Amino acid sequence: MKAGPDIAKLASLIGDPARANMLSALMAGGALTATELALEAGVTVQTASAHLSKLEQGGLVSPRKQGRHRYFALSGADVAQVLETLMGVSARLGGGRVRPGPKEPELRHARICYDHLAGDLGVALYESLQKRDWLREDAETVALTPTGEAGFDQFGLDVPTMKKQRRPMCRTCLDWSERRFHLAGGLGAALLTEILRKGWARRAPGERALRCSREGERAFRLAVWIDD
């Protein structure tokens, strides 16, 4: 057998339904206990612990200890990006639920993808930033333009500090519900943080869906020039 990335091992870790549900729950960007993840997966705590041990050994989740409790989170933004892409492929191939839950419209409109904005608003934001020449795509990369740097500075983001970080500033992430790209990377994370800080949207603990007030969404769209 030829040497190469062990995709089969990764696929087997993600492919188990219980583990897939746990990983999806961690897409909200927080850390959850084994008990909380057991509820998300519909399994016993003992079974959840066994699944989490495999995910930890596979490098997909990282444990954090706080007091008497042990929490689990995704090991990195790249894991979230893989999961979001797989969700998109599943949706395209008709692998979604037959009966969408009541939160489905909220998730499709605006949600958290690990630490950045996804859904209809996330895609609209990314396309607006390209249209205004704040971001520029070149082949398979996306970069911040001088116009964008000045604009984000006025928006209140510390672009020079982001440039010094090891994390890529701009990355694209394929949106599972829109099947188009939204913005990830350090810039995507900073934008979501600022959106929440300004009170344009709020999030419930442990949930991916973002709730935008009518006034908040209007202010958001005006600030980044998203056309209605």
The Cα angle at residue 112 between residues 171 and 44, in degrees rounded to 5: 120
- How high is the pLDDT of residue 84? 86
Q: Tell me how far apart the alpha carbons of residues 179 and 156 are, in angstroms, rounded to a whole number.
A: 30
pLDDT tens by residue, the chain, 228 residues: 556 567 888 889 999 999 999 999 998 888 899 999 999 999 999 999 999 999 999 999 999 988 888 999 999 888 988 898 888 788 777 655 544 444 578 888 999 998 999 999 999 999 999 999 999 988 778 999 999 999 999 888 999 999 898 889 999 988 888 888 999 999 999 999 999 999 999 987 778 889 988 888 888 888 776 765
Cβ neighbour number for residue 19 with a 10 Å cutoff: 23
- How high is the pLDDT of residue 204? 75
Count CA atoms within 13 Å of residue 12 on its CB side: 7
As given in the structure block, the two tokens for residue 147 are: 């116009």
How many residues in total does the chain contain? Answer: 228
The Cα angle at residue 114 between residues 108 and 116, in degrees rounded to 5: 70
- How high is the pLDDT of residue 99? 40
As given in the structure block, the two tokens for residue 23 are: 């990983």
CATH 3.40.50.2000, domain 7-75, yes or no: no
- How high is the pLDDT of residue 101? 42
Task: For residue 150, give Cα distances in angstroms to 53, 159, 172.
Answer: 46, 9, 21
Does the pTM of the predicted model rise above 0.85? Answer: no
Query: Do residues 27 and 80 touch, judged by C-beta distance below 8 A?
Result: yes
What residues does CATH 1.10.10.10 cover in the chain?
7-75
Query: Do residues 178 and 113 touch, judged by C-beta distance below 8 A?
Result: no
Q: What type of residue sits at position 200?
A: W
Q: What type of residue sits at position 115?
A: D
- How high is the pLDDT of residue 145? 95
